[in-house]
Amino acid sequence: MDNKRKTVLHWGLGGGAAILLSLVLTDPYLRSVLTLMAISALLAASLRFVMLMGELNFALAAFAGLGAYAAGYMNTALSVPFVLALPLAGLFTAVASALFGAITLRAKGPYFLLIGFTFTEAVRVVYSKIPALGGTSGMIGIYPPLSLDDWMAGIVVATSVILLLGLFAAERSDFGRILLAIRENENVARSVGVNTYLCKVIAMSCACFVAGVAGGLHAFVNTVISPGDFSYLLAAFALAYVKVGGENYFLGPIVGAVVLVALSHYAIGLGGSEHFLYGGAIIVAVLLMPSGILGAFGKVGPRSVETKVRAARHAV
């Protein structure tokens, strides 16, 4: 009970501070950076959720794209209001990813990763061939209601906090334990009656719901989307956020996203290419901080399920 209360307190303070920050920031540039951090953190947390069961979901970019295009199409062509378009985009993505997962999650490791990669690139070609989705030049005019315009940063951060809380609760539940068991010793899970295949599909679908909403938020924040926004690089960046922040920590992808997005904006200011910084940060993280920033600077924040995952994995 004591631990539970502590967790609620941490979430209240952390989430509240982030939302407050998004509301008090007046500089539009800083607000846009904060928004990008929140969306990036969502994508990275989605990627990490699938990593809990030992798979790298490189189809992340495709599903973020599906969410963005679904939200954009609903908003521009079907006049679905913003507050409905966002969750519907998430649901659409969740269903699409469940179908994708049901077909592809028989494959594992590098095979699953490669399927995700090719799916991402194939879906991009599909967008560019459909005139209703704007073809190669993309979709424009995806506006949130004018009355919400000033509150968009707050809405993005608050939505992110809620979705992250959902992923956190799932990770800490018995479902999270099953995912970890699937990663490390799938036979154990099967031997106690768990349908591991179904669990993988559900995990994939939950993670992609989050990615879909993140894509929808991106569409409404940017007001313009194009196939180029959703290349496999998006998944590669998300992986960088997870690794740099600390894969073994729930807060890892959030810290990674905040640090790397801040770093990339700093680099743009210097006139340099942020991609060098991403690459550099990943190399530094892998060489000097194999457990990421959180791993290097102690036990900050809630850890993933009583971990030592890395140590245990190497000890096998």
- Rounded least distance, CB 195 to other proteins, Å: 5
Closest distance of CB 198 from other proteins, Å: 9
Out of 78, 146, 192, 287, name the contact with other proteins by CB under 8 A: 192
- With binding defined as CB under 8 A, does residue 169 bind other proteins? no
Provide the token pair at 62: 């495709």
Query: Which is nearer to other proteins, 129 or 308 (by Cβ)?
Result: 308
Give the total residue count for the chain: 316
- Tell me which of 95, 135, 184, 231 binds other proteins, using CB under 8 A: 184
Q: Could you tell me the two tokens for 239?
A: 């992986």
Nearer to other proteins, 180 or 208 (CB): 180
Q: How far is CA 150 from CA 33, 80, 146, 160, 252, in A?
A: 15, 20, 8, 17, 29
Q: Are 105 and 204 in contact (CB under 8 A)?
A: yes
Q: How far is the CB of 191 from other proteins (least distance, A)?
A: 5
Near other proteins by CB under 8 A: residue from 191, 269, 270, 287: 191
Other C-beta atoms closer than 10 Å to the C-beta of 158 total: 18
The answer to the question of residue 185 lying near other proteins (CB under 8 A) is: yes
> Of these, 147, 149, 174, 288, which contacts other proteins (CB under 8 A)?
174
* Footprint (CB under 8 A) of other proteins, residues 274-313: 305-309, 311-313
Q: Contacts by 88-92 with C-beta closer than 8 Å and gap 24+?
A: 89/212, 89/213, 89/215, 89/216, 90/209, 90/210, 90/212, 90/213, 90/216, 91/209, 91/212, 92/66, 92/67, 92/212
Q: How far is the CB of 316 from other proteins (least distance, A)?
A: 7
Q: How far is the C-alpha of 207 from the C-alpha of 46, rounded, in Å?
A: 5
Helices (H), 105-148: 109-129
Site string for other proteins, 124-163 (x = CB under 8 A): ----------------------------------------
Q: Choose between 223 and 307: whose C-beta lies nearer to other proteins.
A: 307
Per CB under 8 A, the list member of 23, 102, 148, 190 interacting with other proteins is 190
**What is the DSSP-derived secondary structure letter of residue 225?**
B
**Helix/strand/coil for 78:** coil
Whichever of 24 and 192 has its CB closer to other proteins, that residue is 192
Q: Total number of residues binding other proteins (CB under 8 A)?
A: 27
Measured distance CA(15)–CA(21) in Å, rounded:
10
Q: How far is the CB of 298 from other proteins (least distance, A)?
A: 18
Return the closest-CA partner of residue 209 out of 264, 153, 159: 159
Nearest distance, CB of residue 35 and other proteins, angstroms: 35
User: What residues line the site for other proteins (CB under 8 A)?
Assistant: 174, 177-178, 180-181, 184-185, 187-196, 305-309, 311-313, 315-316
